[in-house]
């Protein structure tokens, strides 16, 4: 299962709107040995599925094998036949499933079909790891929103920028590489119009050979005031602009290549919950938020951020950028008891910087529950 999870992680950010799934086929070997005969991960765009790829790779050696898969095999007919049928036809003897699929078209039916055909099924192996990996799929199906990761770069004195609004490179090269890897593992990256105006970013993955892994770009722009000449509109992945409905300025952005997603505004601006619901409806499962203080503050106050990645530089703002003026920051959950609910998941050095990963308290267990694993286990118990 660890191998299957590793395979799935490779395609995070590429498989949406489908979940990134990994599958490993293991055939009995001589004595206590076993041979891996098939490997698969959900392909870019969500097709073909991991199980089908692994079965095709194994060929005849799939007969009698065990399939380890990170998400319950589908049992419904979509653009491709069900994966449960592929496993049955291949002669798989046993299937080990990490978590159930909350999709109502599956929801335990894949496991039930396999068992009905005499295939032994074991559920819940490394369930929390798989639930976190498939968190975007689970939240999109059950809560109508993507998994949200907020990334912030902080100076040693806790600022994210200076009052003069010029672009500042707070962290070092190693951290920027890490952030580009983060971008590659998300379906979309979101910033506010202020960031576009101040920095004119590309928001792509600029690591060698990884340009095609760049996420879709989303800009929050209530009045569609973003410049049609912005760098991100010149090339790269699609750009979606989320703003108020029926805005006359939207036509210029559409002409420049942006897709306009109108969202009903509250107090002149679309609410974070409404933005996330719209993105989920468009198929986004994993969203990385990389905006400035206003956007970061809005997302934090919404209570809908699942993971926070803090990159802290070793120097104070005045040492990094003397011309930046007074610094400003955001109130972080772990520094404000009233906005708590997060726990430190990881902390490590990245070049001269320090990266801290905060995760919503109890998130993994919550995702396992949302996946429907408890219902699947109950069905097994009822069936004897």
Active site residues: 51
Does residue 360 come out as left (phi exceeding 0), alpha (psi in the -120 to 50 range) or beta?
beta
Tokens of 276: 């996330």
Distances from the Cα of 79 to the Cαs of 46, 47, 74, in angstroms? 10, 9, 12
Are 314 and 156 in contact by the 8 Å Cβ rule? The answer is yes
Q: What angle do CA 259, 192, 158 make, to 5 degrees?
A: 155
Tokens of 378: 């109950």
Task: Return the C-alpha torsion angle 116, 377, 90, 128, nearest 10.
Answer: 170
Smallest CA-to-CA distance from 5 within 130, 99, 97 is with 130
End-to-end CA distance of the chain: give it in Å, rounded: 26
Burial code of 133-150, b = ≥16 C-beta within 10 A, e = fewer?
A: bbbbbbbbbbeebbbbbb
Which residues sit opposite 327 in a β-bridge?
Answer: 162
Report the relative pairing of strands 188-192 and 161-162 from DSSP bridges. Answer: unpaired
Are 325 and 163 in contact by the 8 Å Cβ rule? The answer is yes
The CB density around residue 253, as the number of other CB atoms within 10 Å, is 24
Which runs of consecutive H residues, i.e. helices, occur in the chain?
2-10, 50-58, 83-90, 109-116, 127-133, 135-143, 173-184, 193-199, 250-255, 272-281, 293-302, 317-320, 363-371, 373-382
Instruction: Count the helices and strands in the chain (H runs, E runs).
Output: 14, 18
């Amino acid at each position: 299962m660890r191998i299957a999870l590793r395979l799935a992680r490779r395609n995070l950010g590429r498989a949406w709107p489908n979940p990134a799934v990994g599958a490993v086929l293991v055939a009995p070997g001589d004595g206590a040995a076993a041979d891996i005969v098939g490997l698969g991960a959900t392909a870019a765009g969500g097709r073909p599925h991991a199980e089908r790829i692994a079965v095709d790779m194994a060929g005849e050696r799939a007969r009698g094998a065990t399939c380890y898969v990170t998400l319950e095999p589908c049992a419904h007919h979509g653009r491709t036949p069900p994966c449960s049928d592929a496993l049955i036809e291949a002669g798989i003897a046993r299937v080990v499933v990490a978590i159930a699929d909350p999709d109502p078209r599956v929801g335990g039916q894949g496991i039930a079909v396999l068992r009905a055909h005499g295939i032994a099924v074991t559920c819940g192996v490394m369930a929390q790891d798989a639930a976190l990996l498939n968190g975007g799929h689970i939240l999109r199906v059950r809560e109508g929103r993507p998994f949200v990761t907020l990334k912030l770069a902080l100076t040693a004195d806790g600022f994210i920028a200076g009052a003069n609004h010029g672009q500042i490179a707070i962290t070092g090269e190693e951290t920027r590489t890490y952030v580009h890897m983060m971008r590659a593992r998300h379906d979309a990256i979101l910033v506010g119009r202020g960031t576009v105006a101040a920095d004119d970013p590309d928001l792509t993955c600029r690591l060698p050979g990884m340009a095609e892994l760049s996420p879709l770009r989303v800009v929050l722009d209530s009045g569609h005031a973003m410049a049609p000449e912005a760098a991100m509109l010149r090339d790269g992945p699609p750009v979606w602009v989320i703003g108020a409905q029926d805005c006359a300025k939207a036509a210029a952005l559409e002409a420049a290549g942006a897709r306009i997603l109108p969202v009903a505004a509250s107090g002149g601006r679309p609410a974070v919950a409404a933005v996330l619901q719209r993105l989920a409806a468009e198929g986004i499962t994993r969203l990385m938020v990389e905006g400035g203080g206003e956007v970061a503050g809005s997302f934090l106050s919404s209570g809908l951020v699942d993971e926070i990645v803090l990159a802290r530089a070793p120097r104070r703002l005045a040492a990094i950028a003397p011309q930046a003026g007074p610094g400003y920051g955001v109130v972080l959950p772990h520094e404000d008891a009233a906005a708590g609910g997060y726990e430190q998941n990881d902390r490590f050095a990245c070049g001269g910087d320090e990266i801290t990963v905060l995760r919503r308290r109890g998130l993994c267990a919550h995702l396992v529950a949302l996946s429907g694993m408890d219902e699947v286990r109950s069905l097994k118990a009822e069936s004897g």
